[in-house]
Amino acid sequence: MTPKLPIKIAAHDFRVFHGQEESLRGITLNIPANRILGVIGPSGSGKTTFLRALNRLNDLAPETRINGQVLLDEQDIYAPSFNVVTLRKRVGMLFALPVALPMSIFENVVYGPRLSGVRNRKRLEEIVETSLKAAFLWDEVKDRLMMSGLRLSGGQQQRLCLARVLAMEELEVILLDEPCSGLDPISTAKIEEALTILKAKYTIILVTNNTKQAARVADETAFFLMGDLVEHGPTEKIFTVPDDQRTNDYVTGRFG
């Protein structure tokens, strides 16, 4: 069948503690490159914690500690020598609620490139156009790039956020935290379509509460429950003949 893909991200017995509470209990998971990994599970299962650990956003919460390893291209991202700023430029994140920064559409998109030191106006304009096209937003906003990003609709804002992530030249991995939870079906479809195209270039990890969405777009699916990784495998297998009874119960809608 498909040739064995290289491993992009590997977690080894990875644990996250929030104060006394253990939110992730020893996750071991290999994530292949250029695939969409769907992460499903009921709320509170640790999906989002896992996602945020991958670009070290949980560093910002003061009570959080970690244990174990996460390797990106075989480098430990939690090693003291690993530059967290570089990490976040390589691993982009899309949040559950679309957050357009209160600045123009143009400035939203070039936020990352400007931080990386891109100054050339023409280069920035190119970046804006390619990123917005890749996020399926270009046609809707190309005539009003100087308008505040806050004036876009929710669905448009989420695609703006996607474009903002795609604008980063160092980008290799895209993390999505229930990106469609607040969106209408059309915007959702557009984002899903964008993702299936983008996986040729990026590794994508999609946390979703909507199991159908995982079934539609994910190549592989991981099922989290109460901080444990219950099962991980090809999406068809997870949704048809899972190994674990709990996975079966969840995907068939018996709980969650």
CB 219 within 8 A of CB 35: yes
Q: Which is nearer to other proteins, 149 or 242 (CB)?
A: 149
Token pair for 69: 């390893």
CB of 112 to other proteins, least distance (A): 4
Q: Which is nearer to other proteins, 17 or 95 (CB)?
A: 95
CB of 72 to other proteins, least distance (A): 14
Q: Which is nearer to other proteins, 13 or 63 (CB)?
A: 63
Q: Which is nearer to other proteins, 13 or 169 (CB)?
A: 169
What are the distances in angstroms from CA 50 to CA 151, 171, 223? 32, 19, 12
Q: Which is nearer to other proteins, 103 or 189 (CB)?
A: 103
CB of 161 to other proteins, least distance (A): 8
Q: Report the C-alpha gap between 61 and 53 in whole angstroms.
A: 11
CB of 248 to other proteins, least distance (A): 35
Q: Report the C-alpha gap between 95 and 125 in whole angstroms.
A: 25
Residues at the interface with other proteins (CB under 8 A)? 55, 57, 60, 62, 83, 85-86, 88-89, 92-93, 95, 97, 99, 101-102, 111-112, 115-116, 161, 164-165, 168, 170
- Dihedral over Cα of 245, 247, 248, 254: its sign: positive
109 Cβ contact partners less than 8 Å away, ≥ 6 residues apart: 127, 128, 131, 132, 160, 163, 164, 167
Name the helix (H) or strand (E) containing 205: strand 203-207
CB of 130 to other proteins, least distance (A): 17
Query: Quick one: residue 117, left, alpha or beta (phi over 0 = left, psi -120 to 50 = alpha)?
Result: left
The angle, 0 to 180 degrees and rounded to 10, between the axes of the packed helices 121-134 and 154-166 is 120
The angle, 0 to 180 degrees and rounded to 10, between the axes of the packed helices 185-198 and 121-134 is 110
CB of 197 to other proteins, least distance (A): 22
Q: Which is nearer to other proteins, 177 or 219 (CB)?
A: 177
CB 171 within 8 A of CB 89: yes
Q: Which is nearer to other proteins, 46 or 92 (CB)?
A: 92
CB of 214 to other proteins, least distance (A): 22
